[in-house]
Structure 1
Amino acid sequence: MGGFRKWAVYLVALAGFTAASASAAPVQTEHTVSQLVAEGPAVPGQPLWVALDQKLQDGWHTYWINPGDSGLPTEVNWTLPAGWKAGPLNFPAPHRFTTGPLVNYGYEKATRILARLDVPADAKPGSTVTLTAAANWLICADVCVPEDATLTLDVPVTAGGSPDPAVAPLFAEARAALPVPSPYAASVGATKAAVTVRLAAPGLTADQVKDAYFFAENPDLVEAGAPQQLAVTKDGLTLTLKPTGRATPGPVNGILEVTELVNGQPTTQALAIAIPADGVGAAPASGGMSADTGNAPVLPLWQAVLFACLGGMVLNLMPCVFPVLSMKAMALVRHQGAHARLHGLVYTGGVLACFAAIAIVLMALRAGGQEIGWGFQLQSPLVVAVLAYVMLLLGLSMSGVFTVGDQFMGVGQGLTQGDGYAGSFFTGVLASVVATPCTAPFMGAAVGYALVQPWYVALAVFLALGFGMALPFLALACSPWLLRHLPKPGAWMERLKQVLAFPLYGSAAWLVWVFAVQVGAPGMTGILVGLVLVGFAAWLYGVTHYAEGWGRRGGALAALAALALAVAAVVPQAVGNAAPAADGKAVAMTDGFEAFSPATLDKLRADGRPVLVDFTAAWCITCLVNERVALSSDIVHQALKSHNVALLKGDWTNRDAEITRVLQAHGRSGVPLYLFYRPGQAEPDVWPQILTEAQVLEAVGNLPKQSASAQ
């Protein structure tokens, strides 16, 4: 009943208001009373201001031009007499509404949106024109309801006139709610890492400015829900914002809301900011950063290429790659001169082809709006399962269960045959594929740089990464001196091949664990059955490989059928990808770590605590080694605890767009990434990708002494 009486009061007030001014009819929808109001009569050749006046039910809100993280703006479609023109809607400065992690921009209780109508010079005085506005809006509380109304307004045309005093208070309030042109020069800088809004206001002090917030008109410019970091200097104020990554070059318009103390009282002013496209520059590399952003390193191309090449060389030492490459290198002892060099070049071609393909797919997906980075394919459980099968097959081949390796990997006698070159090529492809779970030193900065560059620059960096990976084998193949110093071929090669099978079995077991982490324990049945089928296929192919006629062909077909069944066994779990944890996180939060979120990070930093954020993934070998070597010892735990360091873990095992954006903001395309936030320091320290216990202890030990007792 209370709500009904309130709506009745609104309608009575609007009816009286209508009778005193223009012939307008208020329209009531479920949660809104709307009316079109003219400021006065229409005068030929002069503008006429009209207001869309809306009263909203208590607890409900509508939206601004940019609704924020969700919602839709109010829209008006005009039907006007011939010669009349409608200008853009003038929205009042919005309010912020927070619902969990989401931030929206809009209005509650009431809103008045102004529009300027241009009256043609040939409008006839003494006539009456009808203006029609088809308005639609979204109004939300706990639920959202789309509403619309067709509003009409009869306006007399007079030779001269003045604003109607009956509506003067309404239009005065509407204009007072509009943002005012900024009296200070404003500038905007934009990079992939941050959007920076500056107001040149000399004389402002941090004691005067209590708060500032930028409402961007373009919803693709900045993340509404991300914190905005304020810095006040003698030259003015700076806001550092988190970009969405979707914006295209163009002008920047919005409202900068500044709250400052005037005579001891907080006063908020909404300043209209309009920066033309040619005035939008690059954000500086210094200054405060949002809690979940940072400054991506700016590398010259030559340095990115060099880092990529060095990182690629280190990839050869990874446990998935080393056994394959070692046997390929040992096979070269049978060959000298041009033959060995050709195998080296073909192997290099396979590596480069694979890295080029990875780069093209990665850039294409990112261009389509996907938030992905290095190792993205391992966020697919199906890819992880197939890689586990490949590792098992390679291990079984090196253990002598079957001899397809003579063709595929190009070892032993296969190198003396024509298809040995094909083996070299596919060995390069295989080595590249199995290297993707790994991130080497130098590599992170180079790949991070590549992903924010034009496609041809990115391709050059990825090819440099592949060339670095192929370089040791290529150097060996092209150096007669190195080949002469390799051990002579013999029975030891077979024993070495069998020994090197076990790292591949270990890699397969690790990938099975990653699969289980991604899909949960119930999904283990499919991959375990698949592994049995893969083993059966390898054995069957091995025992029928030297058979004659249909025996050999039948064995090969049966082996292929078993492999197909192995893949089919994991498809239901892999495609469903039901995360085991309720929060969707696959990596267990142990040893005092909490799950990362920007809100948690902001709260911990606001409390004055140092914070270590570990961005990791179950399929990242480097991450797991770092956790075991540098972050798991008692002495490290004690140091972190004694300095009251808060521990957050960002799990990237399955795709997470928010974590991808954090990685990109710090110039990385993949994990691991370690960010160490010191109290009072705007930007985090970025730790190396290969960690040691000594590095962690040194970084924590350098904390200010007072942080050890922070609560």
Structure 2
Amino acid sequence: MRLPTVVFLSVLCALTCLGPALSRAGHAAQSTPVTTAHGTATLLSDSDSFMPGQDMHFGLRLQLAPGWHTYWLNPGDAGEAVTLALHASGGAVGEGGPIEWPVPQRLRDGPLMSYAYTGDVVLPVRLQPQEAKEGADMVVEATADWLVCATVCVPEHAQFSMTLPRAPLYPSPQAPLFARAAAQRPVASPFAAAIAPDGTLSLSGEGLSPAMVRDAWFMPEQPGQIDHDAPQVLHVRNGLLQLGLKTADGFHRDVPLSGIVVIRDVSGREQALAVTARPGGPPAIAAARGGGIAALARLLVLAFAGGMILNLMPCVFPVLAMKVLSLERMARGERRAALLGAGLYAGGIVVAFVVLGALIVGLRMAGDTVGWGFQFQSVTFVMLMCWLLFAIALNLLGVFSFGTGIAALGGAGRLSGHLGDVLTGVLAVVVATPCTAPFMGAAIAGALSASPVAGIAIFVAMGLGLAAPYLLLASVPGLVRLLPRPGAWMEIVRQVLAFPMLATCVWLAWVATLQGGQVAVPLLAGGLVLVALAAWLVRKAQDMVMAGRGWRDGLVLACRGGALLAVALAVGAVTMVPPALAPQGASATPPPGDGSEAFSQTRLETLRAQGKPVFIDMTAAWCISCLVNERVALSPQRVRDAFTRQGVVYMKGDWTGRDAAITAFLRDHGRDGVPLYVYYPAHGDGVVLPQVLTPGLVLHTIGAQ
């Protein structure tokens, strides 16, 4: 075959194969654009052709100039919604449906709130053409009106036309724009929705929890329903999300309210839900709150177990010095006194747990991001605790006497002992908060996300768990008889136990220095001097009282007054902490040489995208459990070498001061305090480790053994 013949046949074959495509190309899938000074408008089709009876989409594409915007179905406080009227004729007839609106942005302008679109937006409508003339092309004509605004508003109008051939539907080059618009539409809400007469919008169902929801807002479809610019107060607990809306004149309490709820999770991702809220309060949510009675019972068991284990945590060891003096009463067989003292001690623990839990819940409802142990993020609180434990240590060493407890200056009567038992229980809870025992993480998260009654019950169970060993010792006669008989050894033990208190003061001084910097050192040390002065003055007053009265009465009063003045000066100084000592987020940087880098959510996502394993250590300088785990399980050389061999990136988040990113990460993993350890393998989801680590557990988790 000669060459010209081969060329001729090749061209003929190519034309045969490309004929349908060339035919479709002859019919534009978009109209001639209409351009103004504020942007460009075009009518698009998602198909190069049409078939009678088969759905297709047309859309108004607005490419707005920078700084300009147009409006959603409900424009908000100002503006006008886009309109698009579409009609088909010729080979098929039909009318376009309503606009399938993408989720708008909220644009605030002074006291006004608008729901609008900026940049490049496609507003689709659905059309099902019906056959009118077989073999003829379909002619589509559309009229659009829209308002564009910047500092001024300009109404705009355009008419469009396009012709499509009859053929099997074939995606046009503009089809990806329709796919993008579909992805930007709200999805049907999986949650039951209700709107109360006072404007409280409720969503209820599985999957809603404070650990997942950071923010949410509602945009109504119809204007005049709510005050768009008013704050929408968010409350979330397991199974229930509530938004406090400020109703407007157009709101009717007996009419359903439709619109879009946008939920932003702790990672910043947003999900838009189309809701229709029925009138009335939220539906029954007992089952949604984490599973009902069975789940509550499980949390109560975890809370009790966590409270018991808390007795073994190092942060509670110093409080053992406050209990040891009660052993003498038990050993003497004063059963009634022992039971009463143990009950008061347990009562102090339970009350302190309830008050602390209620304070955390209240602050979080007010919008603060606090968690377990939050008070130790305040340098003021840390200093006060250091001074209090220093005073207790001086008391145990015999520098002065507060009776058998930490109450009742200069007395050792029954009232002072009972008050001391209660205050010792309170102190046990206060110094226990830097620790999180096993099981406590889930229990605390459950308490803070449950209903108020269930949350209080969980904190009570935790307090009973902490008090249980001491209650058991006091109530079982056989255990009491195992105690050694009282003797001189009691005074020696009393004095020896002062030194764990002093060691705790050293640790608190270190924490205060990390939080407040070098400026905190003279303020803290000065307070210790004033506390020591107050203790000495109290001792001198007590000695003079024991020696007899008379002319010494005035001096006794002067010493007591001086002691109170010294304490008042110390407390007054720390409550007026200068701005330089304000708590700072992530103030304690990781020590050099531990191979860690500072936690960053962006850095974590980058490392995971690169397929690198990451070990996350959420810690704080005031968290004794964290420091013990770090020294025992994370600092050994064989663990560091394993991290290097396995290519594990060790990231440390320091929660010593307030840090919103770390708080969000904790909540994302169902925790409200540190420690938290999460290992992300090279590929796969993160694994949460226990709160008590061992080197073997860490090595097994990263696959090094």
For the criterion TM > 0.5, the same-fold answer is yes
Name the CA distance, whole Å, in 2 between partners of 1:356 and 1:553: 38
The corresponding residue for 1:431 is 428
CA contact 1:308–1:446 (8 Å) conserved in 2: yes
CA contact 2:103–2:272 (8 Å) conserved in 1: no
Alpha carbons of structure 1 residues 64 and 344: separation in structure 2 relative to 1, 3 Å: farther
The corresponding residue for 2:664 is 661
Listed one character per residue, the Cα deviations across residues 219-256 of structure 1 (whole Å, up to 9, x for unaligned) are: 99xxxxxxxxxxxxxxxxxxxxxx99995379884899
CA contact 1:354–1:432 (8 Å) conserved in 2: yes
Q: Within 5 Å, which residues of 2 pair with 1:234-253?
A: 248=242, 253=260
Matched, 1:652 2:655: yes
The corresponding residue for 1:348 is 346
**Matched residue type, 1:248:** Q
Matched, 1:302 2:297: yes
2:581 to 577, 581, 584: 577
The corresponding residue for 2:642 is 639
The corresponding residue for 1:690 is 692
Name the CA distance, whole Å, in 1 between partners of 2:502 and 2:554: 32
Shift of 1:398: 0.3
Alpha carbons of structure 1 residues 272 and 305: separation in structure 2 relative to 1, 3 Å: closer
Alpha carbons of structure 1 residues 61 and 480: separation in structure 2 relative to 1, 3 Å: farther
Shift of 1:560: 1.6
Name the CA distance, whole Å, in 2 between partners of 1:358 and 1:65: 46
Listed one character per residue, the Cα deviations across residues 510-529 of structure 1 (whole Å, up to 9, x for unaligned) are: 11111111111222221111
The corresponding residue for 1:323 is 321
SS across alignment from 1:669 = coil
Name the CA distance, whole Å, in 1 between partners of 2:582 and 2:186: 53
Shift of 1:378: 1.0
CA contact 1:62–1:74 (8 Å) conserved in 2: no
Matched, 1:452 2:449: yes
Alpha carbons of structure 1 residues 78 and 405: separation in structure 2 relative to 1, 3 Å: farther
Structure 1, gaps ≥5 residues long: 1-16, 19-25, 27-31, 37-50, 67-72, 80-87, 97-104, 116-131, 137-146, 154-163, 197-214, 221-242, 257-270, 286-294, 704-711
The corresponding residue for 1:225 is none
Listed one character per residue, the Cα deviations across residues 681-703 of structure 1 (whole Å, up to 9, x for unaligned) are: 12x11111111112112222358
The corresponding residue for 2:390 is 392
Shift of 1:91: 6.3
Name the CA distance, whole Å, in 2 between partners of 1:391 and 1:569: 18
Shift of 1:151: 5.2
Alpha carbons of structure 1 residues 637 and 534: separation in structure 2 relative to 1, 3 Å: same
The corresponding residue for 1:526 is 523
2:553 to 528, 533, 549: 549
Listed one character per residue, the Cα deviations across residues 61-107 of structure 1 (whole Å, up to 9, x for unaligned) are: 769989xxxxxx9852579xxxxxxxx998666799xxxxxxxx986
SS across alignment from 1:440 = coil
Shift of 1:360: 1.1
Shift of 1:478: 1.5
CA contact 1:397–1:405 (8 Å) conserved in 2: no
**Matched residue type, 1:192:** S
Name the CA distance, whole Å, in 1 between partners of 2:588 and 2:212: 32
Alpha carbons of structure 1 residues 194 and 407: separation in structure 2 relative to 1, 3 Å: closer
CA contact 1:398–1:497 (8 Å) conserved in 2: yes
Deviates more, 1:332-341 or 1:671-680: 332-341
Alpha carbons of structure 1 residues 299 and 662: separation in structure 2 relative to 1, 3 Å: farther
CA contact 1:380–1:574 (8 Å) conserved in 2: no
Alpha carbons of structure 1 residues 690 and 563: separation in structure 2 relative to 1, 3 Å: same
Matched, 1:558 2:562: yes
Listed one character per residue, the Cα deviations across residues 506-552 of structure 1 (whole Å, up to 9, x for unaligned) are: 11111111111111122222111111111111112112223342322
2:437 to 423, 436, 440: 440
Q: Within 5 Å, which residues of 2 pair with 1:413-428?
A: 414=412, 417-428=414-425
SS across alignment from 1:363 = helix
Give the superposed CA RMSD.
4.9
SS across alignment from 2:242 = coil
Name the CA distance, whole Å, in 1 between partners of 2:581 and 2:436: 25
Alpha carbons of structure 1 residues 702 and 427: separation in structure 2 relative to 1, 3 Å: same
Name the CA distance, whole Å, in 2 between partners of 1:509 and 1:391: 10
Matched, 1:619 2:616: no
Pairs aligned (count) = 535
**Matched residue type, 2:636:** S
**Matched residue type, 1:686:** V
CA contact 2:678–2:687 (8 Å) conserved in 1: yes
Shift of 1:676: 0.6
The corresponding residue for 1:462 is 459
Matched, 1:366 2:364: yes
**Matched residue type, 1:312:** G
CA contact 1:253–1:274 (8 Å) conserved in 2: yes
Name the CA distance, whole Å, in 2 between partners of 1:338 and 1:330: 13
Name the CA distance, whole Å, in 2 between partners of 1:407 and 1:433: 16
Matched, 1:274 2:274: yes
TM-score by length of 2: 0.65
Name the CA distance, whole Å, in 1 between partners of 2:339 and 2:216: 59
Name the CA distance, whole Å, in 1 between partners of 2:674 and 2:390: 25
Name the CA distance, whole Å, in 2 between partners of 1:409 and 1:460: 29
Structure 2, gaps ≥5 residues long: 1-33, 42-59, 82-97, 107-114, 126-144, 163-173, 191-205, 221-235, 244-256, 264-270, 545-551
SS across alignment from 2:438 = coil
Alpha carbons of structure 1 residues 584 and 482: separation in structure 2 relative to 1, 3 Å: closer
The corresponding residue for 1:672 is 675
Name the CA distance, whole Å, in 1 between partners of 2:467 and 2:557: 36
**Matched residue type, 1:274:** A
1:630 to 630, 633, 641: 633
Name the CA distance, whole Å, in 2 between partners of 1:699 and 1:475: 38
Higher Rg of the two aligned structures: 2
Name the CA distance, whole Å, in 2 between partners of 1:442 and 1:451: 15
Shift of 1:488: 1.1
Alpha carbons of structure 1 residues 428 and 110: separation in structure 2 relative to 1, 3 Å: closer
Shift of 1:650: 1.2
SS across alignment from 1:671 = coil
Listed one character per residue, the Cα deviations across residues 122-174 of structure 1 (whole Å, up to 9, x for unaligned) are: xxxxxxxxxx99987xxxxxxxxxx5435579xxxxxxxxxx864779xxx9x
Name the CA distance, whole Å, in 1 between partners of 2:590 and 2:146: 56
- Report the identity percentage: 36
Listed one character per residue, the Cα deviations across residues 243-296 of structure 1 (whole Å, up to 9, x for unaligned) are: 99995379884899xxxxxxxxxxxxxx996355699999xx9xxxxxxxxx99
SS across alignment from 1:274 = strand
**Matched residue type, 2:682:** P
Q: Within 5 Å, which residues of 2 pair with 1:86-125?
A: none
Alpha carbons of structure 1 residues 65 and 686: separation in structure 2 relative to 1, 3 Å: farther
Q: Within 5 Å, which residues of 2 pair with 1:598-617?
A: 598-617=601-620
Matched, 1:540 2:549: no
Shift of 1:614: 0.3
CA contact 1:324–1:427 (8 Å) conserved in 2: yes
Name the CA distance, whole Å, in 2 between partners of 1:61 and 1:335: 85
Alpha carbons of structure 1 residues 165 and 150: separation in structure 2 relative to 1, 3 Å: closer
1:56 to 59, 65, 71: 65
Name the CA distance, whole Å, in 1 between partners of 2:276 and 2:578: 48
SS across alignment from 1:545 = helix
CA contact 1:216–1:252 (8 Å) conserved in 2: no
**Matched residue type, 1:552:** V
CA contact 1:439–1:672 (8 Å) conserved in 2: yes
**Matched residue type, 2:373:** G
1:513 to 510, 515, 520: 510
